Every structure is written in structure tokens, then in C-alpha cells.
Amino acid sequence: MDSASKFLYVKLINDIVPHWYDTTWDFNGHTNIPNEGDIACGYFVSTTLKHLGFNLNRYKMAQQAGLIAAQVLQSKDELKRFSNLSFETLKQKLNSVYADGIYFVGLDNHVGYILIKDKELYFLHSSYYDDKVMIEPAETSPCFSSSFYVFAEITTNKDLIKKWILNTRLEIPVS
């Protein structure tokens, strides 16, 4: 399982996401090809997960609110949710429960990935502020400011990795 986790981490960070940098953001963007057309935040996440080999409907996942999209990746009771915290407090809480890795984050009106590396937080997302896909320090990202955060494990999630290995379909939860 550890080798699969490392593979997913390296593949997403080094091979998939960098091709998407500078792809233009649009609220309705849903391109499947980096730097050809536009991509919205939810489609950036669902499309890169699809390209990573997860068996999912990228359209349905992208159209969900952050909390529902997070539940595609991890059971509701295992998600981490935080409200009305300063960045420093949020960072401390995340570093107390999570190891270095890649995590899904849903915010008030936005979604993306959080990369935790050496206790630092980096936000990978299709930015409505800068109009492009980018990685930036979460602390200084205008798009990372939110009153609500929900996090789902990706590269540290043994159940999700097992689904990836077995090519199990990731379904949208029914409320």
C-alpha cells in the first residue's frame, strides 16, 4: 500500500498537475486536455483524478459541492471539517492530523488540492482570482480564504488507494 501511495503522490504532483499549470480558468470550463480550453475548479480536481486512473464520472463529481465531492473520496465520518479558523490555527490542526501528502479541500465556494510538505501547505487549484491553474502557498492565496473547510485524504487514504488498485467505481453519495 505504501508503494501505491507514493506512486499516486509522485504521479499527481510531478506528471499530471504540472501539465495543467496555466490552463485558463472559467466557471463553466470542463476541458479534458491541459492548456486546451478552460477548466473550472471542480473539473480540475475530478479530471486530474480521472487521469491518475481513478474510476469516476468527472462531470458528476465536478458538479458537487465541496462536502459531497469530499465524500466521493472518503467516508463522511472520516472527513476533517473546520469552521471559522485563522490560517495559523488551521495549519496547526492539519499538521496534527495529517502527514505529508495530497488532500482534497472543499471551501465555501471553491475546491482544490492541498499539498502538505514539511509542515507547509500549498494550494493547487483552478484559480478564479488569477484565472488559471496554479500552485501557491495556501497562506497567501486569496482563494483559500474561507469560513468552512472540508478535507479528504487522497494519497494517505488506504481505502481510496485500494479502490484505485481494484478499479472500483467512485460513486456520488446519495443524501
pTM exceeding 0.95: yes
Residue 77 maps to a domain? yes
Tell me the longest C-alpha to C-alpha distance in the chain: 39
Question: How does pLDDT run across 41-73, given as a tens digit for each residue?
Answer: 999 999 999 999 999 999 999 999 999 999 999
Instruction: Provide the residue range defining the domain that includes 40.
Output: 2-168
The residue that leads in pLDDT, 59 or 1, is 59
CA 133 to chain centroid, in Å, comes to 12
Q: What is the residue whose three cell numbers read 473546520? A: 82
Amino acid identity for residue 123 in this structure: F
Residue 85 maps to a domain? yes
Q: Could you give the number of structural domains in the chain?
A: 1
End-to-end Cα spacing for the chain: 31
Residue 42 maps to a domain? yes
